[in-house]
Amino acid sequence: MTDTPQITDSHCHLDFPDFDGQHDQIVARAAEAGVTRMVTICTKLKNEPAVRAIAEAHAPVFYAAGTHPMSAATEPMATVDQLIVMARHPKFVGIGETGLDYHYTAESAELQQTSLRVHIEAARATGLPLIIHARDADDDMARILKEEHQNGAFACVMHCFSSSAALARTALDLGFYLSMSGITAFPKSGALREIFAAAPLERILVETDAPYLAPPPFRGKRNEPAYTVQTAKRGAETMGVSYGAFAAHTQANFDRLFSKAAQFGIPA
């Protein structure tokens, strides 16, 4: 175990029904694989107490909360003050996920944009990183991120990045991070891997987005934090470095971006 490279699953959803009653086993399997930390993401603020409880019960688990863009029209609009209060919890380490999704919910584009700007303001106010979901909304996403960054800097990760090279460049130019999910390990994701290969290694994170997007050889099955290893190994190939070096870089990157989680150190 001590010789196993350590990595962090920077984005998963352990409160989803797929994992009910299994958190102890999931955390244990992750640790065995070298996944020593994970950030579980609350996508509807009404569920924050349940997500918080998972983080409180498991030393390797941290959490973030926000309103997912696909829920922007059906959930109450988040407020900056609401997010600031939640962020006082010692294991609350990020704002979101928020963002824009025009693939399934383009009809709520204006509400999504309003919600995104609320979350950005909360990220500024708390100093915590913003966690962005972007799908089929590259132009508006780039425009809003640039506008808001001009209004005041904030930290950000483009979670499960699978958008265009242009949006990747915008994010990187703003000092943001790109997160690799299992999509980057799919056989037909060559173009996406090229985007990551062109990015600085110092700006890369890894994640599962569990229970979704399991990487090969688990594709089509329920994803879980232990499988971050498969994505990270493909990431190392993509970036042209050893797995150990890639793991070390992504750990340092996570600690830099999610500095509140880094203060806890690696759980024993």
pLDDT tens digit at each of 268 positions of the chain: 458 999 999 999 999 999 999 999 999 999 999 999 999 999 999 999 999 999 999 999 999 999 999 999 999 999 999 999 999 999 999 999 999 999 999 999 999 999 999 999 999 999 999 999 999 999 999 999 999 999 999 999 999 999 999 999 999 999 999 999 999 999 999 999 999 999 999 999 999 999 999 999 999 999 999 999 999 999 999 999 999 999 999 999 999 999 999 999 877 6
CA distances from 151 to 124, 145, 202 (A): 10, 10, 25
Domains of the chain: residue spans and CATH: 7-262 (3.20.20.140)
| CA dist., res. 253 & res. 7, Å (int) | 11
For residue 209, give every residue at least 6 positions away whose Cβ sits within 8 Å of its Cβ, in sequence order, or none.
Answer: 11, 12, 13, 159, 160, 181, 182, 223
DSSP 46: G
Cβ neighbours of residue 123 under 8 Å, at least 6 residues apart? 95, 129, 130, 154, 155, 156
Quick one: which of 23, 81, 22, 90 has its CA closest to 62? Answer: 90
Residue-wise pLDDT tens digits, 73-121: 999 999 999 999 999 999 999 999 999 999 999 999 999 999 999 999 9
Element (H, E) at 142: helix 138-151
